[in-house]
Amino acid sequence: MISTFVNIFKVPELRNKVLFTIGMLLVFRIGHWIPIPGINQEVLADMFRTQQESGSTFAKVASFVSIFSGGQLQRATIFGLGIMPYITAGIIFQLLGTAIPQLKKLQEEGPTGRQKIQEYTRYVTVLLCVFQGAGYLTWLQSNSAGLIHPSYYGNPLWWVMAVGTLTAGCVFLMWLGEQIDKHGIGNGASMIIMAGIVAGMPQAIQFVIQSFEPRDASKIGYMGVVLLCAGFVGVVAGSVLMTVAQRRIPVQQAKHTRGRKVFGGQKSYLPLRLNHGGVMPIVFASSLMIFPTIVFGQLETWAASGSTGPTGWFYMVASFLNRNFNPSGFLYVLTYIGMVYFFSYFWITVQFNPEEMSKQLKESGSFIPGLRPGPRTAEYLETVMTRITFVGAAFLAVVAVMPTVVNTGANIDYTVTQFFGGTGLLIVVSVSMDFLQRVEANLLMRNYQGFLGGDDGTAGPRMRGPR
């Protein structure tokens, strides 16, 4: 392992990419300590701490948004929104590309069309930043007295400045991610999200150490530590397994006779990933599940202050929905699992095209043994993908609900369980593996032993360098 890290710095091009990526991530972390003028950071921290201790719904929502955005809503800083608006805009155009012919045509035009779509994505990112920034500041102004400085409270110029600061911070992170894509190594947006998650893990570890008290039922006991460790090991092992797991379909190349020579006839495999959607189904499902949590909570508040008060039927219905659609509620968990499955299949419907793949196999003179080229091959590929996606979605559903189960069963703070047994850890493992595989490819191109190589200096069984 040590020799592998030394080899990274022996290759000038790879060394420059790794150092550039680290430098950009450091810039990202520095921005988390630059506050927005006019907001009392101490009052904001106390408010979030109180809501976390009471287990409020908003505290769990804020924790979730911070994990997926790389931002930090608990601190009103210039990077508070994170990079999530940019990712959301990119997903919107990716989905619309399958429904709008004009966008699909742009995607097929190559680099020129993709550059135009990227330009539209940036415009939509700015609109989303303005909307989310205004909503976040409105919530701050209505939930705590003394949070905003009296001279700025209700001042239109301050609102323009604060929303503009949050928008500029997100746009800068968007540019930062694109620079990592261009000059660094790894996916820029994913690296930024991972850096935000990893930066919060020391605080989670410190919270576990401070809260460990076996004799106190309200604190973390031995069972809680065991569950955390089991969740950590399970998610790491499962993430590695599901990231590299493939369903290999044998492909036979047709033989061609030219003169006295016979060409082709080689056997190969068509790899289909078991978890084709990665972490995106959880992102989609979790984003949509925020809305019923907020809506039913507000509905219960309105019903309690209504004419009938907390004794009317409207309040009873609203209270039932709010309890069950809380992140620890039974209906919430069932709906969450259903949404993960739905978006897992929705994602392969958008991204995986069996007809196009069958067409490419036919044009290249290849076929799946026992199947006719064309519609029969496309039907077989779609059937296989549907079956293996069920297994991948089941793994994602377990990872998605694990923080809630550990939080409810072992009385461990939700923000801690998100780091050590849930989606945050899944993102870290997936992005880390992608980064290591890219470094591995650069090392093997230059005949250096990689992370997956054997003790004798040769490449491992899964990745082999040039001979």
Superfamily of domain 221-410 in CATH is: SecY subunit domain (1.10.3370.10)
pLDDT at 337 > cutoff 70: yes
Q: Which residue has the higher pLDDT, 353 or 50?
A: 353
Average pLDDT over all residues of the chain:
78
User: Where is pLDDT greater, at 93 or 73?
Assistant: 93
Tokens of 156: 């239109």
Percent above pLDDT 90 for the chain = 4
Averaged pLDDT, 429-444: 82
**For 170-181, what is each residue's pLDDT tens digit?**
899 999 988 998
pLDDT at 145 over 80: no
Judge whether 1-212+451-467 and 221-410 match in fold: yes
Q: How far is CA 439 from the centre of its chain?
A: 21
Phi, psi of 466 (to 5 degrees): -70, 145
411-421 per-position pLDDT tens digit: 677 667 766 66
The CATH number of 1-212+451-467, from 3.65.10.10, 1.10.150.120, 1.10.3720.10, 1.10.3370.10, is 1.10.3370.10
* Range 203-211 average pLDDT: 80
> Which positions ≥6 away from 119 have C-beta within 8 Å?
none
Residue 194 has pLDDT above 80, yes or no: yes
- Residue 20 has a pLDDT of 92
pLDDT at 447: 65
Where do the structural domains in the chain lie, given as residue ranges? 1-212+451-467, 221-410
Higher pLDDT, 248 or 53: 248
The answer to pTM > 0.75 is yes
What is the average per-residue pLDDT within 357-361? 85
pLDDT at 207: 78
| Least confident range of 17-21, 91-95, 451-455 | 451-455
